[in-house]
Amino acid sequence: MMDYKIEQLESVLLFKIDRPEKRNAINYEVMDGLKEALEQARTNDEIKVLVITGAGTQSFCSGGDLQAFHGLKSQSEAYEMLSKMGGILYDLSTLPKITVALINGTAIGGGCEIAAACDFRIARPNSKLGFIQGNLAITTGWGGGTLLYERLVPSQALLLLTTAGLYKTEELHDKGFIDHIVPGHTFNDVTNLLEPILLKNVHVLVAYKQILIEKWKRGDLQERIRLEILACSKLWEKPEHHEAVEGFLNSSSRKNTKS
């Protein structure tokens, strides 16, 4: 079985990270799947909206798979992985279709970066979200920090990044990061909420999205994301990061053993 699913439901393309046993963490296969979904959404005029979500009811996405990527030790190794996903998130943010993160559970680290790359974020109540990378002695490395500064008032974005804390859905709704809170988290909840958009002509939607894309291109979004990735890769190879990851993995292992 693949670690992701892509399904077209009328004018919506649904991409689902299908690794609930890994809290829907990102690995290379999921990266390739997301890239495939972006290409489908880009080239199919029937598609008006791309929705990204996670399998199950516990996690939207827990970020990069630490077990899969912990073997990357040097800056060059880290940069290769980070730039691969960073390029995908740049393509996601500049996709000429409407994009939605359906946050069906916990979203941490890279999961929040994916959410920041989407046009809209819809979450269920009491979910926990956070740009926790600072707790692992690195920064956002997929472009999520750069994109967060585009989504929020800079002081609010800086607060979320530097505290590296976990926030409830309601708190991030107040800060402007979460656009809508829905009691359910099903596909129907999203389509009902987005119905006014889905009723519009696809070329109208593309034209409006293109205005935003042009703004970002003139503001060197791609280059700013590259510099973010480079900064993260430099921190990645430092012993502080690898020690923090080891501590996190050991802690998670002890919790799993007790349960």
Per-residue pLDDT tens digits for 118-142: 999 999 999 999 999 999 999 999 9
Domains of the chain, start order: 4-184 (3.90.226.10)
Query: If pLDDT is split at 50, 70 and 90, which confidence band does 188 have?
Result: confident
Give the other-Cβ count within 10 Å of 205's Cβ: 18
Local confidence band at 253 (pLDDT 50, 70, 90 cut-offs) = low
pLDDT of 168: 97
pLDDT at 259: 46
- Whole-number Cα distances in Å, 171 to 126, 180, 199, 221, 231: 9, 12, 31, 27, 29
pLDDT of residue 1: 86
Find the mean pLDDT for residues 31-40: 98
**CB contact set of 198 (below 8 Å; sequence gap of 6+):** 11, 12, 48, 49, 191
3-state secondary structure of 59: strand
Q: What is the pLDDT of residue 257?
A: 47
What pLDDT is stored for residue 67 in this prediction? 84
pLDDT band at 162 (very low <50, low <70, confident <90, very high): very high
- Write down the residue that tokens 């979004």 correspond to: 221
Q: What percent of the chain has pLDDT over 90?
A: 87
**pTM for the complete prediction?**
0.95
* Per-residue confidence (pLDDT) for residue 250, from 0 to 100: 82
Cα separation, 198 vs 246, whole angstroms:
46
Residue pointed to by tokens 């290379």: 28
Distance from C-alpha of 5 to C-alpha of 40, rounded to nearest angstrom: 13
Would the pLDDT of 185 be above 70?
no
Instruction: Please tell me the distance from the alpha carbon of residue 237 to that of residue 241, in angstroms, as a whole number.
Output: 7
Give me the pLDDT at residue 191, please.
85
pLDDT tens digit sequence for 166-175: 999 999 999 9
pLDDT over 50 (residue 183): yes
Statement: residue 51 has pLDDT above 60: yes
pLDDT tens figures, 200-213:
999 999 999 999 99
